[in-house]
Amino acid sequence: METYYHPHDLTKFADMGKGNKELWEKFMAYYGAVFADGALTEREKALIALGVAHAVQCPYCIDAYTQTCLEKGSNVEEMTEASHVACAIRGGSSLVHGVQMRNVVDKLSM
């Protein structure tokens, strides 16, 4: 195996149903309902998914939701901002842990 990630493997996602059909079907029903138009539009949900895909650094999800965002009518400026939202939250979550570092420093220091 040259690499753990192959683009074509994305098309095998449904094979996960072979191990447990019931759980797979429940997951897919839920997944479909999550991404349907609701209080948020399908387009807005796809942008959130793209941001989350960057945060969890899933190449399958980035591939799939980049295409989905384009097919829902989003443009590259909007998609770039979604990536920045993921970046800001990931970066912010590191930085906010600096408070713990400061707490330890305060406790140890004279």
Q: Which residues make up the interface to other proteins (CB under 8 A)?
A: 41-43, 67, 70-73, 75
Of 41 and 93, which has the nearer Cβ to other proteins?
41
Contacts of 40 (CB under 8 A, 6+ apart): 48
Between 41 and 57, name the residue whose CB sits nearer to other proteins.
41
The minimum distance between CB 11 and other proteins, in angstroms, equals: 9
**Backbone φ, ψ for residue 22 (5° rounding):** -65, -45
Work out how close the CB of 74 gets to other proteins at its nearest, in angstroms, rounded to a whole number: 8
Residue 27 C-beta: closest distance to other proteins, Å? 20
* Amino acid identity for residue 71 in this structure: E
Rounded Cα–Cα distance for residues 30 and 46 (Å): 15
Instruction: Give whichever of 20 and 41 is closer to other proteins, judged by the CB atom.
Output: 41
Nearest distance in Å: CB 25, other proteins? 20
User: Please, which residues have CB within 8 angstroms of residue 66's CB and are 6 or more apart in sequence?
Assistant: 50, 79
C-alpha dihedral sign at 28, 32, 35, 38: negative
